[in-house]
Structure 1
Amino acid sequence: FERKILFKKNAPELLEKKLKGKNWEVLPIMLSGNTDCYQPIEKKLEITREMLEVLYKYRHPVGIITKNSLILRDLDILTEMTKLNLLHVSISITSLNEKTRRILEPRTATIKKRLETVKVLSENHIPVNVMMAPIIPAINSHEIFDLVRKVSEMGALSVAYTMLRLNGAIGAIFTDWVKKTFPERASKILHQIQDSHGGKLNNSRFGKRMTGEGKIAEQVAMQFKIAKKKYLSDKCMPPYNFSLYKQHKNSQLRLF
């Protein structure tokens, strides 16, 4: 996706060192909250693959969030982790419209590939959540019902969302981008984003920054609530199994 990235080749070794530490407390590890662990370069480097092998070795729960179908390369280990309730997968799908996808997420997997990824993972009993993130008023906010219905048909067990927030210098960058990309709708888009964050483009308030506040944010939240009730009422993500890591760690400690 990104043309220039930094990677940490020894990440698997650092992870194992942490998991072996006597003070480590088991909680789900997320791959990756701030980037995508299946960037195209992962096909060559296999850093994510090696980290999953470490997590499986220690029976440690993990959540994966990605927008790339490359995750299917690791279907073998993902399936084994699922059997032990160690895995949740979130696939990011911001739109069902391919034109919108190309504008918002250039160089990423197509919508068709992402939906196929949800389907393949689900067919292998891997629990899948779909992240509609970010929701941008007047760009993709009208797609909530259609998207929830479609991913439910593909086998997703849950959906979640975040509202677009533009912290720091990102606000000015986005404003310039939206005026160039959607000149006829730019004013409407920017005003609705502001209406979703207390009159500002950004919102750092804890508890509000992800879901927003105000009329627009309330409408989005209500649409998700109704869509989930209609299409996902009988589905949910399974709980993580924390006991296996504790058992593994205790058995290792007894060796010394």
Structure 2
Amino acid sequence: MDLEAEYNNRARVPGHPAIIAAWASDSAAWRAACPRVELGLPYGTAPRQAMDVFWPGDRDDVPLAVWIHGGYWQGLDRSFASHCARGLNGRGIAVAVPSYTLCPETTVSGIVAEMLAACTLLFARHGRSMLVAGHSAGGQLAAMMAHALPREMVGAILPVSGVFELEPLLTTTIATPLRLDAPTARKLSPRFLPAPGVVTHAVVGADESDEYLRQTRDFAEAWDGTWEAVPGADHFTVIAPFADPEAPLVALAERLARA
């Protein structure tokens, strides 16, 4: 199997630059239009250790979700993912969207620690269980939150096109900035770190590579969860429904956030 071809999503989807540009545009539009936004809430002292929190209105006593952006732990930031809060905001759910330090400036373990700090701050501020969702690398990070944090903090996760086994990346160009060795890759692979009691639903695009489909299926089975493949969606278009309050995936996410 050609693992480079299986995991190099940008090579698999030549039209990805236009899709990512649309993410940035749609995200800027939602930051301007959201009824209430906290921009740049710090959870640490490093430049990228901050998050934006999107609220559906003036009330603070609403369910809370976290959306963690992708980029293979080495690209993008929260400004490309604001629009993923729009759907849940439209259904009465607050959504926090954090940035994190990127590899190779830090390590994947360092990013996990940063997301733990962000979620811990949110729980300290709001005192309620969270739905943690994320795309691509963010899917791995969402699962790591469920593995590492107490059940009262993370009740459900919704990883989208996640990488749940990192060892297959080691022979690809994707891994170079990550500075992973085999033991560390295994320790950071959520498939092997189930979190009993956490409601788990994993999503993948039906047009993604065989390896992404396999990883999603195997992870859901290992975590005693459910999974679905979104028809006609690739690694980049799979998150489009999260900007739409009427999308079935968003209705499911709302149920998970309110559970």
Q: Which has the higher strand share?
A: 2
- The normalised TM-score by structure 1 is 0.40
- The normalised TM-score by structure 2 is 0.40
